[in-house]
Amino acid sequence: MSSEVEELDARGLLCPLPVIRTQDRVRSLADGVELIITATDPGVMQDIPAWCRVHGHVLLSAEHTGCLCVVRLRVIREKNAP
C-alpha cells in the first residue's frame, strides 16, 4: 500500500463542488494514496463519506473543528476493493 499523502484545498467551495473536486482528484491518484480534503462547507462531513461508500474508497477520518472540516480517505482501485 502506498504511503503517499496528497492534499486537496476545498475551502470556500460550496456543495457540490468539494465532492466534484474530490472525485476529479481521486481519478488521478494511485491505489492506496491518502487524500486529505480541507473544506469550510460542513456538508462535506456527510457528502464525502457517502461518496466514499458509493465508490469503494476508505474513509479514514472526518473532523469538524471550528469552521474547518478535514476529511481523510484512502483511494481504493476497483481491483482491490473488498
Q: Is 26 part of any domain?
A: yes
Q: Is 51 part of any domain?
A: yes
E-assigned strands of the chain?
5-10, 34-39, 58-65, 68-74
Q: What is the pLDDT of residue 2?
A: 66
What are the cell numbers at 29? Answer: 491518484
CATH number of domain containing 23: 3.30.110.40
Domain housing 43: 5-77
pLDDT tens digits, one per residue of 12-64: 999 999 999 999 999 999 999 999 999 999 999 999 999 999 999 999 999 99
Catalytic residues: 15
Q: Is 82 part of any domain?
A: no
Q: Please give the model's pTM, rounded to 2 decimal places.
A: 0.91
SS3 content of the chain, % helix, strand, coil (to 5): 30, 35, 35
Number of compact structural domains in the chain: 1
